């Protein structure tokens, strides 16, 4: 595995990390297998969050006796100091550790949100206190919107950022990443394979040729982490001519198919969370990537499935309430065919619910 310096934190992190969002979705035995396999392959940076179901607790178990091998980055989506302080302690407890190597402010949405979390009494104050007490070692922030992260960095000396970037979504290269490089901020990348729309080897290889420190592809299966880690183990990551051609083709093909979760199309008069639905629905992405049969065979967590069935039914009826007013499509800067994209999700989602119900019965 290749390693790079994570900005000015001084941490030497594997170029392929583990995005642990989905660990809480499979049964514990299988999730432990994924996490342990990642460590065996040389992955030493794990990205989790308070809000990723029981991902922190699974990692706490997986890291028993191996905590010295890995850096843990978690996140709090709290807005207030009090709530963030509570969440940092919950993370430590679930992860069974006395410190987090990094803790992010999770998912900065817009300037109002920034004002709240970075202002007096906001979540950032709790992270600063926690860092002073050694409970966390570094402070970072995440957002799906590059320009919000630029604003965050202009207000506070964050040490790490986490942002989506891939062959299709390249906005961070314009202003955000140059600023990070100038200030010594660690650059960590989520959605490196655009939630499975891009083939992992070429997508990860392309990213490792950009000025980034580590990629944290979300891995649900052992096979996924093995494929991802192979790219991190390559001695030479130079893109060959045919790979560069493939990158250009993929960019062209997916440019008006991939939602950037920029929220420019919202609010929808029917209350449909368009960006979240099109861009961050990891369970739906798994169904699409695995196919119906493998999805049915996968050992999902029973607790997660019970929750997810209800959530999914709500999402389906939200989409069905769309009256095709077209307001969202007029506002989308990427000209995505939003109405069709939403409608195309209904049938697979109904099959996901059927698959989970079958799994609960047997
Ligand atoms: S077309 Fe549908 S999704 Fe788009 S704004 Fe109108 S109701 Fe909402
Ligand atoms: S559909 Fe378009 S405007 Fe809406 S979040 Fe996605 S990329 Fe942004």
Query: Is 172 within the bounds of a domain?
Result: yes
Neighbouring C-beta atoms of residue 222, cutoff 10 Å? 14
30-85 pLDDT tens trace? 999 999 999 999 999 999 999 998 899 999 999 988 888 899 999 999 999 999 99
CB 239 within 8 A of CB 247: yes
Predicted local confidence at residue 280, as pLDDT: 85
Which ligand approaches the C-alpha of residue 265 most closely?
A: 2
Dist. CA 109 → ligand 2 center (Å) = 14
Query: Is 53 within the bounds of a domain?
Result: yes
Predicted local confidence at residue 22, as pLDDT: 86
Are 332 and 218 found together in one domain?
A: no
Predicted local confidence at residue 282, as pLDDT: 85
- The answer to whether residue 361 scores a pLDDT higher than 80 is no
Predicted local confidence at residue 65, as pLDDT: 86
Six token digits for residue 174: 């314009």
Query: Is 171 within the bounds of a domain?
Result: yes
CB 275 within 8 A of CB 261: yes
Mean pLDDT of 9-18: 97
Q: Report whether residue 272 contacts ligand 2, using a CB cutoff of 6 Å.
A: no
Are 130 and 233 found together in one domain?
A: yes
Place 107 in a pLDDT band, splitting at 50, 70 and 90.
very high
CB 151 within 8 A of CB 115: no
Atom 7 of ligand 1 has which residue's CA nearest to it? 322
Top mutation candidate among 259, 263, 267, 274 for ligand 1, by most atoms within 8 Å of CB = 274
Query: Is 76 within the bounds of a domain?
Result: yes
Are 56 and 105 found together in one domain?
A: yes
Tell me the CATH number at 156: 3.20.20.100
Mean pLDDT of 141-170: 97
How far is it, in rounded angstroms, from Cα 247 to Cα 265? 28
Query: Is 260 within the bounds of a domain?
Result: no
Place 337 in a pLDDT band, splitting at 50, 70 and 90.
very high
Are 89 and 223 found together in one domain?
A: yes
- The answer to whether residue 88 scores a pLDDT higher than 70 is yes
Are 72 and 159 found together in one domain?
A: yes
Are 223 and 337 found together in one domain?
A: no
Atom 6 of ligand 2 has which residue's CA nearest to it? 259
Are 215 and 301 found together in one domain?
A: no
Predicted local confidence at residue 362, as pLDDT: 62
Predicted local confidence at residue 8, as pLDDT: 97
Are 102 and 188 found together in one domain?
A: yes
Which of 331, 342, 324, 336 lies closest to 278 in space, CA to CA? 342
Mean pLDDT of 302-315: 92
Which ligand approaches the C-alpha of residue 320 most closely?
A: 1
Query: Is 158 within the bounds of a domain?
Result: yes
Query: Is 256 within the bounds of a domain?
Result: no
Query: Is 144 within the bounds of a domain?
Result: yes
Which atom of ligand 1 is closest in space to residue 329's alpha carbon?
Answer: 4
Most confident of 3-7, 194-198, 285-289, 299-303: 3-7
Picking from 195, 226, 246, the residue at the C-terminal end of a domain is: 246
Are 104 and 239 found together in one domain?
A: yes
Q: Report whether residue 263 contacts ligand 2, using a CB cutoff of 6 Å.
A: yes
Predicted local confidence at residue 203, as pLDDT: 97
Predicted local confidence at residue 25, as pLDDT: 85
Dist. CA 147 → ligand 2 center (Å) = 15
276-303 pLDDT tens trace? 999 988 889 889 988 999 999 999 989 8
Predicted local confidence at residue 68, as pLDDT: 85
Top mutation candidate among 170, 262, 333 for ligand 2, by most atoms within 8 Å of CB = 262
Q: How many domains does the chain have?
A: 2
Q: What sign has the CA pseudo-torsion 264, 103, 11, 179?
A: positive
Give the CA radius of gyration of the chain.
Answer: 20
Predicted local confidence at residue 144, as pLDDT: 94
Range of the domain at 355: 274-359
Top mutation candidate among 254, 256, 259, 340 for ligand 2, by most atoms within 8 Å of CB = 259
Are 176 and 89 found together in one domain?
A: yes
Atom 3 of ligand 1 has which residue's CA nearest to it? 322
Are 281 and 210 found together in one domain?
A: no
Q: Report whether residue 327 contacts ligand 2, using a CB cutoff of 6 Å.
A: no
How far is it, in rounded angstroms, from Cα 114 to Cα 29? 39
Q: Report whether residue 259 contacts ligand 2, using a CB cutoff of 6 Å.
A: yes
Picking from 227, 246, 265, the residue at the C-terminal end of a domain is: 246
Are 173 and 35 found together in one domain?
A: yes
């Amino acid at each position: 595995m290749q390693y790079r310096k994570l900005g000015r934190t001084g941490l030497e992190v594997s170029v392929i990390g583990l995005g642990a969002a989905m660990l809480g979705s499979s049964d514990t035995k299988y999730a432990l297998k994924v996490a342990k396999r990642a460590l065996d392959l040389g992955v030493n940076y794990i990205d989790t969050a308070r809000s990723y179901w029981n991902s922190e607790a699974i990692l706490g178990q997986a890291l028993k006796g191996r905590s010295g091998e890995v850096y843990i980055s978690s996140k709090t989506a709290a807005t207030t100091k009090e709530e963030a302080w509570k969440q940092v302690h919950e993370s430590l407890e679930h992860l069974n550790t006395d410190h987090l190597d990094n803790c992010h402010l999770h998912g900065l949405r817009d300037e109002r949100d920034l004002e709240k979390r970075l202002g007096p009494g906001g979540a950032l104050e709790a992270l600063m206190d926690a860092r002073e007490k050694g409970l966390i070692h570094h402070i970072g922030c995440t957002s799906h919107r590059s320009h919000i992260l630029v604003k965050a960095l202009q207000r506070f000396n964050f040490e790490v950022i986490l942002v989506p970037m891939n062959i299709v979504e390249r906005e961070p290269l314009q202003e955000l990443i140059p600023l990070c490089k100038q200030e010594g901020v660690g650059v960590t990348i989520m959605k490196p394979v655009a939630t499975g729309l891009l083939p992992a080897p070429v997508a990860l290889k392309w990213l490792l040729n950009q000025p980034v420190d580590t990629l944290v592809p979300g891995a649900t299966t052992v096979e996924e982490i093995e494929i991802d880690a192979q790219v991190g183990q390559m001695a030479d990551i130079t893109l060959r001519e045919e790979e560069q051609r493939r990158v250009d083709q993929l960019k062209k093909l997916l440019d008006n198919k991939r939602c950037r979760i920029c929220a420019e199309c919202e609010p929808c008069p029917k209350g449909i969370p368009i960006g979240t639905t099109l861009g961050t629905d990891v369970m739906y992405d798994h169904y699409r990537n695995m196919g119906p049969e493998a999805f049915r065979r996968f050992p999902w967590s029973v607790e997660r499935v019970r929750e997810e069935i209800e959530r999914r039914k709500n999402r389906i009826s939200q989409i069905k309430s769309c009256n095709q007013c077209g307001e969202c499509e007029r506002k989308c800067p990427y000209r995505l065919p939003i109405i069709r994209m939403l409608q195309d999700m209904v049938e697979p989602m109904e099959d996901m619910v059927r698959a989970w119900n079958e799994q609960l019965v047997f």
